[in-house]
Amino acid sequence: MSREPDPLVLLPGLACDARLFLPQIAALSAGRTIHVPTVSRADTITALAESVLAEAPPRIALCGLSMGGIVAMETVRLAPERVSRLALLDTDPRADSEGVRAMRETQIAEVEAGGLAEVLRRDLHPLLLHRESARDDIRALMLEMAIDLGPEAFVRQSRALASRAGQEETLRGYRGPTLVLCGEDDRLCPVKRHTLMHELVAGSVLEIVPGAGHLPTLEAPDAVNAALRTWLAA
């Protein structure tokens, strides 16, 4: 009798929800349970990872994009035995620099004063997509997700990101099948960060997605789905 595949847990990024992974949910849900936890209810990465573990089945395939990847790495640090395989998409294993932490504090103050949409349009959205992309539909979806989650979620997530520790040692110690993937034109988490993660995780697979920036799940879903299928079958 064949064993059921481990459920796939997808962790969305800053100010995002399950809609970030709609193409993947549609492509991968046949024969496999998919969970998309909320990762906006706490203001530390550790507390967010603990909430993922509290809601998740005992053994999971774990995939996170951007902040979701950071929460995924912390989940592995806390309970590596529960993560059968790991996919890190357009993310960063390092702690924030002083400059980035200062920028986040400025954004938090502006968002708390009612400027969520302005912060997103000015600081984040111009960096999300491939430079040659004209995907206004993706930009509109990103704004819609952020507004639906609300400014309090953005503030909690920003504080969690600013206070996080680096995960280089976590990655060095992980031994499950690991996919490291990013868009070729990711300006928020550039390719060199993914090369570093690939070097840290023994036996990992590195995929660079042409024609995509920070959001390949939406910009190049067919390429991402193919890479995830191969990872899930490894």
At residue 2, the pLDDT reads 59
Beta strand pairing status for 34-35 and 83-89?
Answer: unpaired
Domains with residue ranges and CATH for the chain = 8-96+158-233 (3.40.50.1820)
| Gyration radius of the chain's alpha carbons | 16
Note the pTM of the prediction, 2 decimals: 0.97
At residue 90, the pLDDT reads 98
**Residue whose tokens read 């997700």:** 145
195-221 in b/e form (b: 16+ CB < 10 A) is ebbbebbeebbbbbbeebbbbbbbbbb
The token pair at 94 is 């390092």
Return the axis-axis angle of helices 67-78 and 45-55, rounded to nearest 10°.
70
CB 162 within 8 A of CB 102: no
Task: Provide the residue type at 73 as one letter.
Answer: M
- Per-residue pLDDT, averaged over 147-166, amounts to 98
Q: What is the pLDDT of residues 70-106, one digit of tens each?
A: 999 999 999 999 999 999 999 999 999 999 999 999 9
Q: What is the pLDDT of residues 121-155, one digit of tens each?
A: 999 999 999 988 878 999 999 999 999 999 999 99
